């Protein structure tokens, strides 16, 4: 059985030089061998005639030599006949006939030119394909640049901000699972012993994982977009929720999961027991949240509305630096030194919202009087007409939820139109 192979090698000018040499060798052999055979046969016969020897004994050898010379002379024709007629055309041997037939200078030059033309055509096709790809790439670049421009224009027009948890949820799934698993770990009475059992507060936080181990002990300075601020917010509000912070403003006191009228009412996951008000240490540390939750100075797990904004914004690197506010309660100073946002449709995550009991001119800080509350915008969705405020005041401690929602179309925030917004940082709605 013969193995079918590709005939292309018999059209390769470089390979055909081998068959050119073989053809030449065959021609030499078919000429020289008969001459040599005839010489070796006739010369002894001639000598015998001249010397008068019996010549009949040379006849068999002469006939054999003549037959061998004839066979060798006819060998190329015989091989060609065998290759072309007797061997299946798909066989390797038959293919060799093509190679022998092409093994001449004329065929080699012909195939060389054919290969050159083919290579030029292939090169032309490649260049055309590259040119086409280049044009398509330029079109893609143009489309990409247009999409980037549209994206930036949409940012300016206040497109929906990224919400890492969703309007209907307080935390992401990961953070919520951590909070649920550890909300009963610590309270005022066992805080030191539990932390010591972990070998220190850093080890306790490491065991929590998620945003807690990600941000603890880290000076955050790369809050550039809504999701960055939302993650830092999860860190701060997540710890407050796990601990069960109480509300304390210096005069007003509210229990975690309870209310602001009876210190005897609170939830079982609160940090301080029912009936106990932690006022002995004054207000908590609003500049260094990590220090506060670790109990580095004293154990004082209380907060209030402006204290919480301070805690988040200091942790996010948005307060206390050069050209930054130092307190969320300095509403008039903010209004005079930072951009005022008077249109509710223009609000973005990171904008700080101040609330007043009387009517005000949103664009004139001099009219901002009788201030009573502060929060900040965490999420915005124009497609659902929803704006979400992140609130660390008694709304948080009473409801155990830091998110309140308002309709953008209503023009009101948290149930009132007497609000003023200040943009203290350029936080992009989307990353």
DSSP element (H, E) containing 107 = helix 105-156
Residue 60 has pLDDT above 90, yes or no: no
pLDDT at residue 394 tops 50? yes
Higher pLDDT, 160 or 431: 431
- The most confident of the ranges 7-21, 57-71, 381-395 is 381-395
CA gap 352, 397 in Å, rounded:
20
Distance CA 153, CA 349 (A): 17
pLDDT at 8 exceeding the cut of 80: no
pLDDT > 70? residue 18: yes
User: Is residue 249 predicted with pLDDT exceeding 50?
Assistant: yes
Element (H, E) at 311: helix 305-315
CA atoms of 282 and 399, how far apart (whole Å): 23
Handedness of CA 387, 390, 393, 396 (dihedral sign): positive
Radius of gyration of the chain (CA): 48
Residue 10's alpha-carbon distances to 82, 85, 97, 358, in angstroms, are 18, 19, 9, 99
Q: How far apart are CA 112 and CA 401, in angstroms?
A: 82
**Which of the 8 DSSP states describes residue 247?**
E
* Both tokens assigned to 118: 């083919």
Tell me what pLDDT residue 109 has: 73
| Rounded Cα gap, residues 348 and 338, in angstroms | 15
The domain ranges of the chain are: 7-103, 173-423
91 has pLDDT over 80: no
Integer Cα distance of 271 and 292 in angstroms: 14
How far apart are alpha carbons 373 and 391 in whole angstroms?
A: 9
- Cβ atoms of residues 12 and 100 within 8 Å: no
Q: Quickly state the pLDDT bin for 138 (edges 50, 70, 90).
A: low
What is the per-residue pLDDT for 301? 97
pLDDT tens for each residue of 223-247: 999 999 999 999 999 999 999 999 9
Look over the chain and give the mean of its residue pLDDT values, rounded to a whole number.
83
Q: In the structure, what pLDDT confidence band is assigned to residue 54 with cuts at 50, 70 and 90?
A: low
């Amino acid at each position: 059985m013969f193995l079918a192979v590709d005939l292309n090698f018999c059209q390769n000018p470089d390979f055909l030089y081998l068959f050119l040499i073989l053809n030449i060798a065959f021609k030499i052999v078919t000429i020289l061998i008969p001459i040599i055979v005839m010489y070796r046969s006739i010369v002894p016969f001639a000598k015998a005639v001249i010397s008068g020897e019996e010549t009949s004994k040379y006849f068999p050898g002469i006939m054999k030599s003549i037959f061998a010379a004839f066979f060798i002379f006819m060998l190329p024709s015989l091989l060609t006949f065998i290759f072309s007629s007797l061997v299946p055309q798909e066989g390797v041997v038959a293919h060799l006939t093509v190679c022998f037939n092409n093994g001449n200078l004329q065929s080699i030059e012909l195939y060389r030119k054919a290969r050159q033309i083919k290579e030029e055509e292939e090169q032309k096709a490649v260049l055309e394909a590259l040119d086409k790809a280049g044009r398509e790439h330029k079109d893609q670049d143009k489309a990409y640049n247009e999409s980037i421009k549209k994206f930036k224009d949409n940012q300016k027009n206040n497109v929906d901000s990224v919400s890492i948890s969703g309007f209907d949820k307080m935390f992401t799934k990961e953070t919520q699972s951590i909070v649920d698993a550890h909300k009963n770990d610590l309270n005022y009475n066992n805080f030191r012993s539990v932390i010591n059992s972990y070998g220190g507060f850093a080890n306790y936080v490491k065991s929590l994982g998620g945003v807690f181990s990600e941000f603890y002990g880290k000076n955050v300075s790369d809050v550039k977009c809504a999701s960055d601020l939302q993650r830092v917010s999860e860190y701060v509000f997540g710890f407050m929720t796990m601990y069960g912070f109480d509300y304390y403003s210096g005069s007003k006191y509210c229990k975690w999961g309870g209310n602001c009228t009876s210190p005897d009412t609170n939830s079982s996951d609160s940090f301080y027991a029912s009936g106990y008000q932690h006022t002995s240490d004054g207000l908590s540390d609003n500049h260094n949240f990590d220090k506060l939750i670790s109990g580095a100075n004293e154990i004082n797990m209380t907060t209030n509305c402006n204290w919480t904004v301070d805690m988040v914004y200091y942790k996010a690197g948005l307060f206390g630096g050069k050209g930054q506010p130092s307190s969320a309660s300095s509403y008039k100073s903010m209004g005079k030194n930072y951009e005022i946002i008077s249109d509710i449709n223009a609000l973005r995550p990171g904008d700080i919202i101040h609330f007043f009991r009387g009517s005000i001119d949103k664009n004139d800080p001099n009219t901002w009087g009788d201030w009573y509350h502060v929060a900040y915008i965490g999420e915005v969705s124009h497609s659902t007409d929803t704006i979400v405020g992140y609130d660390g005041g008694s709304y948080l401690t009473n409801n155990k939820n830091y998110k309140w929602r308002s309709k953008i179309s209503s023009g009101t925030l948290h149930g009132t139109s007497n609000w003023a917004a200040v943009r203290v940082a350029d936080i992009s709605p989307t990353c």
